[in-house]
A = this chain, B = another copy of it.
Amino acid sequence: MKKQIHSEHAPPPGGYYSQGIHAGPFIFVSGQLPFAAGGQIEAETAAGQTRQALANVEMILAEAQASMDNLVSVTIYVSDIDLWPKVNEAYEVYLDDVSIPPARAVVPTQELHFGALVEISAIAYRE
């Protein structure tokens, strides 16, 4: 069974997608832009946007009784690879309590949607 995950604490979908999908033991989280729950990009720095995107991932996972500890694979899209050190540092601090860091891919893109500096998609595993 494929189940929709929807969190009131993460930004509402701005198009035809679910925030997350739970299928078997895996949770697929949509690419999260750094929107605050109100639907605006408030953070201006790469670090702040990274924290917001991760907070959105965390809220979506929470709806599926999962946490950042359940992450198995994270893809970080960044609009400019020169921002990477700031993104990486914010990421590491945010995931500080995670027992095993997930696999990760870093993908430098063109300018992201809505001018965001960072977009984060993820797969988590919860039996």
Q: Which residues of A contact B (CB under 8 A)?
A: 1-4, 13, 15-21, 23-26, 28-31, 70, 72-75, 77, 80-81, 84, 88, 91-92, 95, 100-113, 119, 121, 123, 125, 127
CA–CA, A92 and B14, complex, Å: 12
CA–CA, A25 and B25, complex, Å: 10
User: 10 tightest A-B contacts by CB?
Assistant: A31-B105, A17-B104, A23-B125, A16-B92, A108-B110, A28-B73, A30-B103, A28-B103, A105-B121, A21-B72
Nearest Cβ on chain B to A127's Cβ, whole angstroms: 8
Copies per complex of this chain? 3
Residue of chain B at shortest CB distance from A105? B31
